[in-house]
Chain A
Amino acid sequence: AQTVTQSQPEMSVQEAETVTLSCTYDTSESDYYLFWYKQPPSRQMILVIRQEAYKQQNATENRFSVNFQKAAKSFSLKISDSQLGDAAMYFCAYNGQNFVFGPGTRLSVLP
């Protein structure tokens, strides 16, 4: 079965600085998708970014980018120019035969 691990339960970053959230996964599949979701205090799950495993180019969405290392089964999220509104729980997710979420990382942004 596929598993997703986020080894950082909590992280903090100064406003305007850059932070990287880690995610690793375990799978024997070759075709899958990876996602980062953000869950602010409202608890609405919001898609941040998505990566197709067959694409070597790392996905980017404005201040959010990923470092996808398929051989290492690693999928980290980099947030640049952090803003107070980035404070939230961040979940890494895998979608292959099953959709699997990691346990989450709580990100605090310090003014």
Chain B
Amino acid sequence: SQTIHQWPATLVQPVGSPLSLECTVEGTSNPNLYWYRQAAGRGLQLLFYSVGIGQISSEVPQNLSASRPQDRQFILSSKKLLLSDSGFYLCAWSAQGRETQYFGPGTRLLVL
């Protein structure tokens, strides 16, 4: 069966520091991968999605970037965090096509 991992689970970082959040998927190959951000009590905002290695699409211009160095690895990064980057970050995967998205456990990021 497929599983999706995210780490770290919680992160507290100062403004201006770099960020790296990692997401890996097991039990499937060539998945679509997604990064979402969720503000407290709000819906999900799609940040990036990837249909293959090195293929990244950005939905919202921002302080963040994403990379997919391996088939089942998706990384969310920032060179300098802003206060507004605080939130709950969710990684998801789906099979190719209009399939169900399955979510990881998420990372809580607090920028101080």
- A44 in contact with B44 (CB, 8 Å): no
- A103 in contact with B43 (CB, 8 Å): yes
B86 to A: closest C-beta gap in Å: 14
Interface residues on A, range: 20 to 34
Number of interface residues of B (CB under 8 A): 18
Mark out the residues of chain A between 66 and 111 whose CB falls within 8 Å of any chain B CB in the assembled complex.
91, 93, 95-96, 98-99, 101-104
Residue of A nearest to B103 (CB): A45
Mark out the residues of chain B between 66 and 96 whose CB falls within 8 Å of any chain A CB in the assembled complex.
88, 90, 92
Interchain CA distance A43-B108 in the complex, whole Å: 10
A residues with CB within 8 A of B = 31-33, 35, 37, 42-47, 50, 91, 93, 95-96, 98-99, 101-104
Having A43-B108, A99-B46, A99-B101, one finds 14 other A-B pairs with CB under 8 Å, namely A33-B100, A42-B105, A43-B88, A43-B105, A44-B105, A45-B90, A46-B103, A91-B43, A91-B44, A95-B98, A95-B99, A95-B100, A95-B101, A99-B34
B residues with CB within 8 A of A = 34, 38, 42-44, 46, 88, 90, 92, 98-103, 105-106, 108
| A-B CB contact pairs (8 Å), 15 listed | A31-B98, A35-B100, A37-B103, A43-B105, A44-B103, A45-B92, A47-B102, A50-B100, A91-B43, A95-B98, A96-B98, A99-B34, A99-B101, A103-B43, A104-B43
